[in-house]
Amino acid sequence: MNLLEISDLVIDHDPVTHERRPVPREAVVARLAAAGDRRGARIAATLPCAPDGTLDPDAVDRRLVAVHTELQRLSEELRTGDRITALLRPLLDALRAGGHGRIRIVDVGCGLGYLVRWLAASGALGATAAGATGADVPGADGTRADGVELIGMDFNAALVAEAARLARAEDLPCRFERGDAFAIGGGDAGGGAAATVYVSTGVLHHFRGPDLDAFFAAHSAPGTAAFVHYDIAVTPLAPIGAQVFHRARMRDPLGRHDGIVSARRAHDDATLLRAARHAEGLVPLLYEPRRLSNPFCTTLRPVIGVRPELRGPLRAALGPRLTGTAG
């Protein structure tokens, strides 16, 4: 069965102009039905649409913001902020030891920006990181005095607007931009300048086949030193765990559907390592790959890419659970 997420089908953008295009509801229903997903087709058939049969874009945006708000609970329960900090701290230490000044961290496909807001609010990468200088004081441009710039980027304008609103409400030193994961580092969809470090959570499984390779290839800019992309670990328990969590904690049927499908179509370690080789100049690594982790406890695990000179210091900090092989 071809596994599809409804949230991927209800939004469409022109690949060149990045303008949003109308989406006929029947087309979404038909794709899900053709994939054998009768439940997904039933959920899609209830989405509000205009008299011409195209999905109401405002209703779609409201629904996706609501679903991502529920999804934030998962990030809280899985302690996504702590997990990524445990990898980013030694990485930033190594960068600073190598003479890097300002470090720009971009969360690709940030959704409501939970990770970026968490990093900004906690100061986890701030003055406590070795090598940091200056007080932990945010600058007016969303940078921190210690030289870490936190940016969230997503293709979905409604999610970006909500992420920015939430950050403003707490006066957090971070910012959010609309951008395309395939045009980062100077692309024409608001991707801005290349990041020093790209991160993401729960995004990789949305990209399949050549798109997954292209996602990593977009990290090849000379200014980019590393990436850390967390996604659902493929374990025998992952689909059951996702089913239990989403049934228990997600109210929206669309969110439940997509969450359960996500776990079933997550990429295995070998696929991620292979695709990550498309990021030129970066060495692909896995942290806690399946063979080195407890399948009962593992939910998310990252694929990492680093400039060759960062591999040694990172391995010294993280130990043998950082590896270049899946099997």
Ligand X SMILES: C[S@@+](CC[C@H](N)C(=O)[O-])C[C@H]1O[C@@H](n2cnc3c(N)ncnc32)[C@H](O)[C@@H]1O
- For residues 70 and 249, the answer to whether their CB atoms sit within 8 Å is yes
Asked whether position 114 contacts ligand X by CB under 6 A, the answer is yes
Distance CA 95, CA 257 (A): 40
Q: What is the DSSP letter of 290?
A: G
List the alpha helices (DSSP H) in 78-128: 80-97, 114-122
| Radius of gyration, CA atoms only, the chain | 19
Least distance CB 97 / ligand X (angstroms):
29
Residue from 110, 197, 238, 303 binding ligand X (CB under 6 A): 110
Contact pattern for ligand X over residues 163 through 192, marking x by CB under 6 A:
-----------------xxx----------
Residue ranges in 122-161 that form contacts with ligand X under rule CB under 6 A: 154-156, 159
Tokens of 160: 């970006």
- Residue that has been written with the tokens 């441009």 in this structure: 141
Least distance CB 174 / ligand X (angstroms):
14
Residue among 79, 106, 110, 117 at smallest CA distance from 201? 110
Question: Residue 186 or 324: which CB sits closer to ligand X?
Answer: 186
Which of the ranges 26-34, 36-44, 106-114, 167-175 carries the binding residues for ligand X, by CB under 6 A? 106-114
Distance CA 268, CA 290 (A): 9
Least distance CB 253 / ligand X (angstroms):
16
Which of the ranges 20-28, 108-116, 287-295, 318-326 carries the binding residues for ligand X, by CB under 6 A? 108-116
Residue from 109, 190, 289, 302 binding ligand X (CB under 6 A): 109
The site that binds ligand X (CB under 6 A) totals a number of residues, namely 18
Question: Residue 127 or 214: which CB sits closer to ligand X?
Answer: 214
SS3 198: strand
Residue among 137, 142, 135, 126 at smallest CA distance from 174? 142
Least distance CB 164 / ligand X (angstroms):
14
DSSP E strands, 53-186: 103-108, 148-154, 175-178
Least distance CB 310 / ligand X (angstroms):
24
Q: Sign (positive/negative) of CA torsion 189, 163, 20, 7? A: positive
Contact pattern for ligand X over residues 193 through 222, marking x by CB under 6 A:
--------xxx--x----------------
Least distance CB 223 / ligand X (angstroms):
19
Distance CA 159, CA 153 (A): 10
Residue from 40, 81, 90, 111 binding ligand X (CB under 6 A): 111
User: Strand 283-287 relative to strand 322-323: parallel, antiparallel, unpaired?
Assistant: antiparallel
C-beta atoms surrounding 301 within 10 Å: 24
Residue ranges in 52-91 that form contacts with ligand X under rule CB under 6 A: 68, 71, 75
Distance CA 22, CA 64 (A): 16
Question: Residue 4 or 283: which CB sits closer to ligand X?
Answer: 4
Asked whether position 4 contacts ligand X by CB under 6 A, the answer is no
Q: Which residues bind ligand X (CB under 6 A)?
A: 68, 71, 75, 109-111, 114, 154-156, 159, 180-182, 201-203, 206
